[in-house]
A = this chain, B = another copy of it.
Amino acid sequence: MPATDGIPQSPLQIAIVGMGNVGTGVAKILIEQADRIAHRAGRPVVVKHAIVKDETKSRDIVLPPGVLSSDLSRVLNDPTVTVAVETIGGLHPAKETVLALLKAGKDVVTANKALLCEYGHELFGTARELGRTIAFEAAVAGGIPIIAAVGQSMAANQIIGIQAILNGTSNYILTEMQLYGRSYAAALKQAQDLGYAEADPSLDVNGTDAAQKLSILVQLAFGTKLAVADFPVVGIDAVDQTDIRCAEELGYTIKLLASAKLTGKHIELSVRPTLVKKDRPLSQIPGPFNAILLEGDMVGPVWYSGRGAGQLPTASAVTADIIDIAVGRAQLTFSRLDLWREKPAFTNLGLDDYTSRYFLRLKVEDKPRVMADITGILGKHGISLASVIQPETPEVDSAAANVPVVPLIIMTHRTTAGQLAAANRDFDKLPAIHHPRVCLAVAD
């Protein structure tokens, strides 16, 4: 009884709405690997419609005649099409399109993390009301099956911690800065030249993209919906070579870390440049790769790594979702996913109560009492020091050329964000501390 036998001849007919990079990749896999997909799905999967804004644009794929169209209503009014892939991207008209597709009776596969982060509640709610399914493996970490991991494989566990590198553009830039001493601007330019960064990279480098993905993971892992505005999100655009070099000397690599952890009934989550010990696997994730460490209370730590973006890795995840719908698994999974609860078991900790260890890099005037003032302020706010390093070579601050200014690096023990903010306010009153002050989290 080989699994190749008995594939029913009724194909699963699908529509792809949005034929950009990812939509085109999905069509390529479904068309060029039709036998493989039929074997895995148990039935042929046929692209019946591909909906685009501009039918006349030249494309990197040849579609069968009659498939390409700019008219979404062809999909909505075709009862033979039961699954639609949303690869438009962005919020609008993606949201309206998904709602229309659900209402027209289609299950929807999407790779759109911005959409799910912003309107997931409404879209998931509509889908469940209508008995439809939304599958979104590709929305977080591209080719890494992290939605399946959280939603299925870890089902015996309460996830108690997530640490992840979820934005390949930022990770590529930080890796280049680290390995080759490039400036942030030069590394960003190179990421753009290689196609890892968009022409407008702001959502990548300011942490928003990673925060949207973390928000989706947190919702699945903890049943709690938190918006990007609800937690600290800091991008990599302020990280400079000095910090990378200082961190390296201390045995750390700076990564844009998306982190969530349970402390009792509370969640602490953040996306920010973070010092990660060099012997930790996450510190070694290179270039455009993504990585996720899930910590379960039963299974312990499990690491995943792979390509988080790119045409075929993302299309691979979308196609796995299509196969899951063809097999009937996605429908069962969606009905059981911990998408939200009326009374979440876990709520966001007050931001002032978030705890972390910190790396502080200050530029201070090299005169008596400054060190005493600084350590006094930290002590007053209950912040204890793990180490203090004042490198021997003084640097000259061009803004105050006659005053010798030296760098001072302080690693703190665990402290709260509130304590740190209070200390920072006191630092503001000390003219001997120059700007900018750098304050980066240190990973647990």
CB distance from A193 to the nearest CB of B (A): 21
A151-178 interface code vs B (CB 8 A; 1 in, 0 out): 0111111100000000000000000000
In the assembly, how many copies of this chain are there?
2
Contact indicator A129/B299 (Cβ below 8 Å): no
Of the residues B42, B302, B327, contact of A305 by C-beta under 8 Å: B302
CB neighbours of A307 from chain B (8 A): 299-302
A197 at the interface (CB under 8 A from B): no
Q: Which single residue of chain B is at the shortest CB-CB distance from A343?
A: B2
Q: Say which one of A55-63, A78-86, A89-97, A308-316 lies at the interface with B.
A: A308-316
Q: Say which one of A69-77, A137-145, A265-273 lies at the interface with B.
A: A137-145
Contact indicator A143/B329 (Cβ below 8 Å): no
Of the residues B4, B137, B340, contact of A341 by C-beta under 8 Å: B4
With A3-B339, A302-B304 in contact, is A316–B157 under 8 Å at CB?
A: yes
CB neighbours of A342 from chain B (8 A): 2
A323 at the interface (CB under 8 A from B): yes
Q: Say which one of A32-40, A373-381, A385-393, A406-414 lies at the interface with B.
A: A32-40
Q: How far is the CA of A320 from the CA of B150 in the complex (A)?
A: 11
CB neighbours of A4 from chain B (8 A): 341
A394 at the interface (CB under 8 A from B): no
Contact indicator B156/A33 (Cβ below 8 Å): yes
A29-59 interface code vs B (CB 8 A; 1 in, 0 out): 1000100110111100000000000000000
A284-304 interface code vs B (CB 8 A; 1 in, 0 out): 100000000000101111111
Contact indicator A329/B333 (Cβ below 8 Å): yes
CB neighbours of A36 from chain B (8 A): 156, 158
CB distance from A213 to the nearest CB of B (A): 17
With A281-B284, A332-B329 in contact, is A317–B299 under 8 Å at CB?
A: yes
Of the residues B128, B223, B312, contact of A299 by C-beta under 8 Å: B312
> Which of A155, A315, A335 has the most B CB atoms < 10 Å from its CB?
A155
A200-235 interface code vs B (CB 8 A; 1 in, 0 out): 000000000000000000000001000000000000
Q: How far is the CA of A177 from the CA of B137 in the complex (A)?
A: 40
CB distance from A234 to the nearest CB of B (A): 27
Contact indicator B296/A300 (Cβ below 8 Å): no
Q: How far is the CA of A39 from the CA of B344 in the complex (A)?
A: 13
Given A2-B341, A153-B320, A156-B317, 17 more A-B residue pairs with CB atoms under 8 Å apart are: A3-B339, A3-B340, A4-B341, A37-B155, A37-B156, A40-B156, A40-B338, A143-B296, A143-B300, A145-B149, A155-B319, A281-B281, A299-B307, A300-B312, A303-B306, A327-B332, A328-B332
